[in-house]
Amino acid sequence: KAGVTQTPRYLIKTRGQQVTLSCSPISGHRSVSWYQQTPGQGLQFLFEYFSETQRNKGNFPGRFSGRQFSNSRSEMNVSTLELGDSALYLCASSRQSQSSYNSPLHFGNGTRLTVT
Partner 1 sequence: QKEVEQNSGPLSVPEGAIASLNCTYSDRGSQSFFWYRQYSGKSPELIMSIYSNGDKEDGRFTAQLNKASQYVSLLIRDSQPSDSATYLCAAYTGKLIFGQGTTLQVKP
Binding stretches for partner 1 (CB under 8 A): 33, 35, 42-45, 48, 56, 58, 90, 98-99, 101-102, 104-110
Residue 112 exposed, middle or buried by CB count within 10 Å (0-12, 13-18, 19+): middle
Amino acid occupying residue 47: F
Nearer to partner 1, 27 or 100 (CB): 100
Nearer to partner 1, 78 or 108 (CB): 108
Minimum CB separation from partner 1 for residue 74, in Å?
16
Minimum CB separation from partner 1 for residue 5, in Å?
11
CB neighbour list of residue 40: distance below 8 Å, 6 or more residues apart: none
Nearer to partner 1, 9 or 15 (CB): 9
Minimum CB separation from partner 1 for residue 69, in Å?
22
Integer Cα distance of 70 and 49 in angstroms: 11
Asked if 45 contacts 37 with a C-beta cutoff of 8 angstroms, the reply is no
Minimum CB separation from partner 1 for residue 9, in Å?
11
Q: Read out DSSP for 64-78? A: EEEEE-TTS-EEEEE
